[in-house]
Amino acid sequence: MAEENTTHEQIRVISPGRVNLLGEHVDYNDGPVLPAAIDLFVQIQAVPLEDQFQLYSVSYEQSVTFTLDSIKEKKDLSGDLLPAWALYPAGVAWVLQRYGLPVHGLSASYSSNLPIGSGLSSSAAIETGFAVLWQQLGGWQMDRMCLAKLCRQAEMEYVQVNCGLMDQFACLHGVEGHGLYFETRELTWEAVPLPERAAIVIADSGVPRSLASTAYNARRSTCEQALAVLQLHIPGLRSLGDLTPDRFEQSAQFLNAVPRKRVRHVVEECERVRRSVGMLREGNVQAFGRLMVASHMSLRDLYEVSCPELDALVEIACNLPGCWGARLTGAGFGGCTVNLVDENHLDSFKLSLRKEYHHMFDREAVIYQCRAVEGTHLVTS
């Protein structure tokens, strides 16, 4: 184990958000996903302190001070409840010290160009950014998959959002120019090259959504209940991600109408992700794009997590020259779509998408042109 960092030099961390190209609402069902870390990110600048945590959020223009003792009750030093934005770094400190890992005091400010509440994992970027920061300050080592699991535990148990592992994994494991094929049960992954002339374009619908206040937890509960029913009829079934399409068709009769739709989405979405890897390796971006559109239709009709604004963004995009595929990304109920676009059509695509969406809803869609980048890392220069 390395020695604890006792210098007062400023430490800087860049922690990217993530966009999920394919595989939505399957990570908590042990299914495969295909996210990518993107060049929208959280930036943290910190210097070590003795035993206090002084945080300043540039986005909210607010500061808070707490200790390891006060965060147990989610309170600052004044006894007030921690603001929502501070729960994510506080939760990471809380879970690290539960496992006996050194959590050094610090004074940190952090900013982000990630749109908050839009499905690009600003919360996971904050969690993983502070985890890497505390790892550097404390001088301890940990495999990045284990670090992702601790960050997920912080969000589930401290922030109380019942999330899967994909977001923290993607933020920590990003590879420049690649998507990340991730088997969420085996915790194995491989980098898959993205087509060179395919740009990732994210369109923020302007419809906010918060995982803690949406039907996300209800969808997850429905899947858990459906699994319990299916396990009575399929010996050895461990998760919905294990179900092949044939096995699902043979057992669908045991589920009521709504759970049957939810499970059908999970089964078919897992198959889409598995098929997509070969398509990307072969450079068949057209076929991959068709899978993206099929994924959106499934999320709209079977999992019912879309909304009129997201549906419109996808429909508009699919009718524009140069767009290979489009779908909602993230949990849904608002937030963003992700589009795979021929870079030769980028300017006209972004202009037309923004214009037609505004005409339909009298609402602005903020467009981000992104690329796949390295995961959470220290900046040494």
Active-site residue set: 167
- CA pseudo-torsion sign 273, 274, 279, 280: positive
Q: Which is nearest to 39 in space by CA: 133, 177, 136?
A: 177
Task: Tell how far CA 303 is from the center of its chain.
Answer: 18
What are 13's two structure tokens?
A: 């961390």
For residue 374, what are the contacts with CB-CB under 8 A and spacing of at least 6?
16, 37, 174, 175, 176
Residue 78 burial class via C-beta count within 10 angstroms: exposed 0-12, middle 13-18, buried 19 and up? exposed
Least Cα distance to 71 among 170, 176, 147, 159 occurs for 159
3-state secondary structure of 339: strand
* 3-state SS assignment for residue 280: helix
For the chain, give the longest Cα–Cα distance: 64
Of residues 201, 143, 175, 142, the one with CA closest to residue 322: 201
Give ∠ CA 48-52-55 in degrees, rounded to 5: 75
Query: Which amino acid, residue 25?
Result: H
Q: Are 332 and 307 in contact (CB under 8 A)?
A: yes
Which element (helix H / strand E) includes 21? strand 11-22
Tokens of 161: 């959002």
H or E segment to which residue 42 belongs: strand 32-48
Query: Which H, E and C letters describe 65-96, residue by residue?
Result: EECCCHHHHCECCCCCECCHHHHHHHHHHHHH
Decide if 21 contacts 179 (C-beta within 8 A). Answer: yes
352 CB-near residues (< 8 Å, 6+ apart): 316, 320
